[in-house]
Amino acid sequence: MLNKLLEYQKVDSKLVKIEKDLENSDCKGTVNGMVRLVREAQNHLIHIEKTAGDLIAEYKRLVEVYEKEKKCVAELKDKEIKEMNAFELREENNSVAKQISDVIGLKKSITALSKKIIQKLNEFEKTRAQGVESKKKYDDSIAKYNEFASKQNDNIRKVKQELFELEKGIDPVYIDKYKKMRDEHKYPILVPLINNSCGICAVQVPNARLDILKKNHMIECENCHRIIYLPE
Site of interaction with Zn ion (CB under 5 A): 198, 201, 221, 223-224
Min dist. Cβ of residue 215 to Zn ion (A): 20
Min dist. Cβ of residue 232 to Zn ion (A): 20
Nearer to Zn ion, 110 or 201 (CB): 201
Min dist. Cβ of residue 197 to Zn ion (A): 8
Nearer to Zn ion, 213 or 224 (CB): 224
Min dist. Cβ of residue 227 to Zn ion (A): 9
Nearer to Zn ion, 117 or 201 (CB): 201
Residues shown for the chain? 232
Measured torsion, CA atoms of residues 215, 219, 223, 225, in degrees rounded to the nearest 10: 180
Nearer to Zn ion, 33 or 199 (CB): 199
